[in-house]
Amino acid sequence: MQAMIALAATVLISIPAYAADVPARLPDPDGEPGSTTKPVKVYILAGQSNMV
């Protein structure tokens, strides 16, 4: 049981080391401004307080 806890702790601690940095300014996907003729999709995310 202690080996499983140690393994889980090691995995959880090492996960941030593999995370990639997100640039401060994201690139424009196609270089054109957004269309004003298409509807806007809105997603309402209802979750717990720790939902990111």
- d(CA 47, CA 52) in angstroms, rounded, equals 9
DSSP string covering 15-40? GGGGPPPPPSSPPPSSSSPPPSSSPP
Task: For the chain, 52 residues long, give each residue's pLDDT as a single digit of tens.
Answer: 999 999 998 888 887 777 778 778 877 788 888 889 999 999 888 877 776 6
Determine the pLDDT at residue 4. Answer: 92
Distances (CA, A) of 12 to 1, 5, 8, 21, 32: 17, 10, 6, 18, 40
Predicted TM-score (pTM) of this structure: 0.34
The answer to whether the beta carbons of residues 51 and 45 sit under 8 Å apart is yes
Tokens 């702790």 belong to residue: 9
